[in-house]
Each structure stands twice: as C-alpha cells, then as structure tokens.
Amino acid sequence: MEKTFDLIVSHAKKTGFVFQGSEIYGGLSNTWDFGPYGVMLKDHIKRAWQKKFIQEDPNNVEIQAAILMNPRVWEASGHLAGFSDPLMDCKQCKTRHRADHLIVNFTNGEVNPEGWSNEQMEQFITEHHIPCPDCGAHDFTSIRKFNLMFKTFMGTLEDAKSTVYLRPETAQGMFVDFKNVQRAYRKKLPFGIGQIGKSFRNEITPGNFIFRTREFEQMEMEFFCQPGTDDDWFPYWRQFCMDWILSLGGNAENLRFRDHTPEELSFYSKGTTDIEYKFPWGWGELWGIADRTDYDLSQHMKFSGENLEYLDPVTNEKYVPYCVEPAVGVERLFFMFFTDAYDEETLASGDTRIVMHFHPVLAPVKAAILPLRKTYSDLAKEIRKDLSYDFECEYDESGSIGKRYRRQDEIGTPFCITVDEQTTVDGTVTIRYRDTMEQERLTVEEVRAKINQAIRF
Ligand code: GAP
C-alpha cells in the first residue's frame, strides 16, 4: 500500500486529529486546528522530548520565554536584516513564488539552490525557461527579498517605535536568558537550555498540510559548551536526536542524515546536519542540528552591552561559550509519526482494517474500555475512571464490539479492555492487543501494570 499524501491527510481529518482552521468561515489558508486526538499526540511528543532532553539529562534545564521580545533581539540575531525569502512575481497572472522553490520543483528536487545568490537563481530560471506553476508563462520580475517576521504593534500607537515581532524561532529566548539561567541555577558548562513554544513565520509558500505553516511549535535546545568541545557535542546531539526518533518507533528506512554543504550553511553556523524524513512527496527536513559557535552570545553582547562571558571555574579563563543547537518542529514530528504509523491490513476474513501502529508512549488514547453489553456499563465506567488516573482512557459502548475495535485501531489505541459477565464474577477483563489482535484475561490491576510498563519511556 502506498502512503500517499492524500491518504494520510484524509485519515488525519477523518479521525479528528487535525481540522482546517476557521473552517465554518471558509477557512484561513494553511491554518490547522488540532482536535482532541491531535492535541494528545502532540502532547505526548512534547512530553517525550522533555523527558529525554531535559528531565533525564543532568545538564539541561527548560525555560519559557515571552513570544514578544525587545526588537533589538532581532537586530542582534540577524533576523531583521537577513531572515527573508527570495520572491518573484509572475507578471502575467500576478502570483508570487519563491525562486528557490521554483527551481526545486522544476528539477524534482535534483537541484538544491540553498546558498545560491539571487543572480544565480534568476539565471537558472531563465536558462531553463522555468514556467509559472499557475499560468505556465515565463515572465517573472527580478527577485526581491521578503522578510518572514510577522509585525505587530505594542500599546496604543501604531508607529515604527511601537513595532514588535512575533518570534520566528524560540532559540533567541535561550541566548537572551543565558546569563540569568547560568547565574540563578549555578550552572557549569556544558549545559543546555531548552524550550517548547510557538514560533511564527510569514512563509510565502506554506503547504504540504502541517509541514510548512505560518504558526508552529518548536522544541529547541541551545547546548552551551567550551569552545573546541563543540566538535564532540555536535555529533553527540545529532545521534541523540536520531536515537530519540527511533526509540519512539520511527522507521529507519524513512530517515537519513544530510550534512549542509559549505554554500548552504547559515552565516552563523560552523556545521549543520538535517535529519530528513521521506515524506509522502519526498525527502524533507525534519530536525536541524547546528553548531552555532559563539555567534549569538557575541551578537547579544554587542547589541545589549551586557557581558555574557563565562568564567571557567577550573581554568579561571573567561570566554564566550559555543553553542550546539538541535531544533525541531512538533508538527513535522507529528506528520512523521502519523505517516509511519499508518497501515492497512487484510484480515483472514477478507476485511481490511486501518490501524495506526503508534508507539504506546505516543498513542493519544492508551486504553479503550468497552462493555460487551450495556448491562455492564456502570462497571465499565468505574474501571475507566480508575484507570484514567494513570493514563488516557476512552469509554465506548456504541455499536458491535468489532466496530468498536476498528474505531480504536484507526486512532492507534494500543489496548482495548472488554468488560463482560466474567468481570462481574471475578473482576477480570479481556485485554486485546492492537498490533496482534490477540486477547488474554487479566485482572484490572494486571492490566494497569501492563499498560504502565508499555508507556514507560
Ligand atoms: N533556531 C533554528 C531554527 O529555527 P530552522 O531550521 O529554521 O532552525 C527548526 O527550524 C525546525 O523547525 C525545522 O527543522 C522544522 O522542523 C521546524 N520548522 C521550521 N519552519 C517551519 C514551518 N514554517 N512550519 C513548520 N515547522 C517548521
């Protein structure tokens, strides 16, 4: 079975993981709302990140910085001057396009223009006579730079002095708070500051469902270390990210590392590797791991006038720490785990079942409590209440037991608990395993222990 883009998107919508944003008003282009199962999946992804990147790591801590930051932050970081996309307008149909995307799409991804100058891109588009994807004409304006930051105003005046920006990345919060965290928590290098939060980019060509949106959540960590040791920490974090994905059931065949070529490296980066995933349309960036050197802290020292150097208690030296950054978008991980989990199986009966093979840690609902007949409803509801103290449960009494199993398979619930006559006699229930469809009889306490074990991470 081919996991096409349409198949995955339609399953996400049909099962209520993701809805079109503002749908009853005709939508707002490329905005998506996450339904209850979608929120649960996102929360489990975030919790799994927090657990491994922060909680279990003795060096790392987490912050929540404000989304609106002093505009000088974006001058220092280079976003005001340089965070822009190369745009061309089609003079015939007046549509606007990213020059780099025109090239990538025209060559089916065989030519990657990252790092090219505007002149190089214009020349390639002219020489290859690349047409406008909307009207087919070849009549473009020259490239203009378009800044991707969303602007708004703070306070009652709408003038240049009150302009603020919605942050385009969470990372700058960690650089700006570096000294506060280091001092208040008496942190010694190496240590990381992580953050989960919304970022905003006025993307020119958002698309591919939740892959590229204008509002998204990032999970980023800035790992500060002594200059020179970044050469060890960079491969360490790169592998750590890949292992994290694999430990949550990511399919190794759909994942690869891709090192940035010197031409495509960001100006602040000494080395960058993307973990790429084979999305339904082809390979795309999932996670970026960059060696940002001392660029950001040095810039903030320059622009704020604050000394952000670190006094090494061992060598008594003062220096600006280097920084290795693993940065990922929650929605891209969502898309990846959702696509990998999707499966259609032909059963012995000849029926097809759609099943989401989520790792139990990620599955939105861990257990569905299903009374075999309505006479067992009260008992089943009690069991649901009791088990939901430990993990997410759902209660369902409508339709045949077979239909209820199918509904749970479609949202990836790893365990179905059936309450029947025997339960009223000895307190045992039937547990049915999603992937094998095998069943066994256990007490409620044994079920609780089994599920708690399966979701330990
Ligand atoms: N602080 C570095 C940084 O933000 P990035 O490569 O621009 O680097 C990091 O973004 C990650 O954030 C990407 O690998 C991707 O997972 C996610 N991301 C970036 N732009 C996005 C967008 N428009 N929609 C959804 N996710 C996005």
Report the pLDDT averaged over residues 309-325. Answer: 96
Question: What is the rounded distance in angstroms from the CA atom of residue 65 to the CA atom of residue 446?
Answer: 43
- Structural contact between residues 405 and 432, judged by C-beta atoms closer than 8 angstroms: yes
Report the pLDDT averaged over residues 397-414. Answer: 97
Pick the more confident residue, 82 or 418.
418
Nearest CA to ligand 1 atom 21: 212
Q: 111-134 pLDDT, tens per residue? A: 989 888 889 999 999 999 999 999
pLDDT the model gives residue 82? 83
- CB half-sphere exposure, 427, CA atoms < 13 A: 6
Report the pLDDT averaged over residues 410-428. Answer: 98
Q: 350-384 pLDDT, tens per residue? A: 999 999 999 999 999 999 999 999 999 999 999 99
Question: What is the rounded distance in angstroms from the CA atom of residue 210 to the CA atom of residue 6?
Answer: 13
Least trusted range by pLDDT, from 91-95, 325-329, 388-392, 399-403: 91-95
Q: 130-177 pLDDT, tens per residue? A: 999 999 999 999 998 889 999 999 998 888 889 999 999 999 999 999
Helix, strand, coil % over all residues of the chain, rounded to 5: 35, 30, 35
Structure tokens at 330: 């929650």
Pick the more confident residue, 266 or 43.
43
Question: What is the rounded distance in angstroms from the CA atom of residue 17 to the CA atom of residue 419?
Answer: 27
Please give the C-alpha separations between residue 236 and each of 28, 178, 262, 265, in angstroms, as whole numbers.
41, 22, 21, 20
Is residue 282 predicted with pLDDT exceeding 80?
A: yes
Report the pLDDT averaged over residues 414-426. Answer: 98
Structure tokens at 452: 């708690």
Q: 225-271 pLDDT, tens per residue? A: 999 999 999 999 999 999 999 999 999 999 999 999 888 888 788 99
Structure tokens at 349: 């009966």
CB of 364 shorter than 6 A to ligand 1: no
pLDDT the model gives residue 83? 86
pLDDT the model gives residue 204? 83
pLDDT the model gives residue 206? 80
3-state secondary structure of 134: coil
| Among 328, 391, 393, residue whose Cα is nearest residue 367 | 393
Residue 94 Cα to ligand 1 middle (Å): 28
pLDDT the model gives residue 267? 77
Residues with Cβ within 8 Å of residue 27, at least 6 apart in sequence: 20, 21
Beta strands 367-371 and 393-395: pairing type? parallel
Residue 120 Cα to ligand 1 middle (Å): 25
Nearest CA to ligand 1 atom 27: 329
- Structural contact between residues 307 and 318, judged by C-beta atoms closer than 8 angstroms: no
Q: 61-95 pLDDT, tens per residue? A: 999 999 999 999 999 999 998 888 899 999 999 89
Question: What is the rounded distance in angstroms from the CA atom of residue 433 to the CA atom of residue 54?
Answer: 32
- Structural contact between residues 88 and 101, judged by C-beta atoms closer than 8 angstroms: no
- CB half-sphere exposure, 173, CA atoms < 13 A: 24
Query: pTM for this structure?
Result: 0.93
Strands (E), 36-118: 60-62, 84-89, 96-98
Residue 113 Cα to ligand 1 middle (Å): 18
User: To test the ligand 1 pocket, which listed residue (258, 267, 289, 332) has its Cβ within 8 A of the most ligand atoms?
Assistant: 332
Nearest CA to ligand 1 atom 11: 328
47 pLDDT tier (thresholds 50, 70, 90): very high
Backbone angles phi, psi at 197, to 5 degrees: -175, 170
Q: What are the residues facing 431 on neighbouring strands?
A: 417, 440
User: To test the ligand 1 pocket, which listed residue (218, 274, 286, 333) has its Cβ within 8 A of the most ligand atoms?
Assistant: 218
Q: What are the residues facing 143 on neighbouring strands?
A: none
Ligand 1 atom index nearest CA of 211? 25
Q: Which residue has the tokens 């007490």?
A: 443
Average pLDDT over the chain reads: 96
pLDDT the model gives residue 115? 80
Q: 331-345 pLDDT, tens per residue? A: 999 999 999 999 999
List domains and CATH numbers for the chain: 5-70+159-338 (3.30.930.10), 84-147 (3.30.40.230), 365-454 (3.40.50.800)
